[in-house]
Amino acid sequence: MPRLALIALILLLAACSAATRYVIDVNVLSFIPQNQRSITIPTGYYLAVYPGLEGQLVPLPLSLDILERGQIAVQASVTNTGTLPLTGSYEIRLAPESDTNLNDNSGGDVGLGSTSLNVAAGQSQSIETTIQLSTNQNSTAFNIIKSGSFRIAIRVEVNSSGGRFDLTGARVSVTGRPFAVIK
């Protein structure tokens, strides 16, 4: 029996080595109620930070001592319900937990993945934005996510004669190790 316990201990320790990588995948869309995943765009100039100026607070469920990389992926669509072209832009906003205004470029908030919108009357435009995060790519945003709890929002700024913005997917993934052999 002691031999079996020793084998079990060795297998357990091997499963939690310094080389073990964990991937945490957070479905941000699950934090937003179904009835709040769409916004109606009125006629004229329109600016919205969605789901609100304070953004959506996203706590990472597991602490990783060594965060190696991350990814933000957002899917949405814009539909022009008016008679004139819908033009403008869409941008992902990211901020530390303490920043409650993701549209003022102060307190640490940053914009990522800015996309131009130009939708003809009666048409739709799909938006798929994937942003890689690491110490070499989008390092400011990467450092915000490394804090373990952060805020995320989408900024939509358009001119139109009416439309609709539908958020269909939003995920944040991080990859890291639970501890380092040498810190």
Every domain of the chain and the residues it spans: 20-177
- One-letter amino acid identity for 123? Q
Containing H/E element for 15? Answer: helix 2-15
Domain 20-177 fold = Jelly Rolls (2.60.120)
3-state secondary structure 105-153: CCCCCEEEEEEEEEECCCCEEEEEEEEEECCCCCHHHHHHHHCCEEEEE
**pLDDT at 182 exceeding the cut of 50:** no
**pLDDT at 9 exceeding the cut of 50:** no
Separation between Cα atoms, residue 138 and residue 136, nearest integer Å = 7
**What is the rounded end-to-end Cα distance, in angstroms, of the chain?**
37
- One-letter amino acid identity for 26? V
**pLDDT at 17 exceeding the cut of 60:** no
Using a pLDDT cut of 90, give the percent of the chain over it: 58
pLDDT in tens, 37-59: 899 999 999 999 988 899 999 88
Residue identified by tokens 């319900």 is 81
pLDDT of residue 16: 52
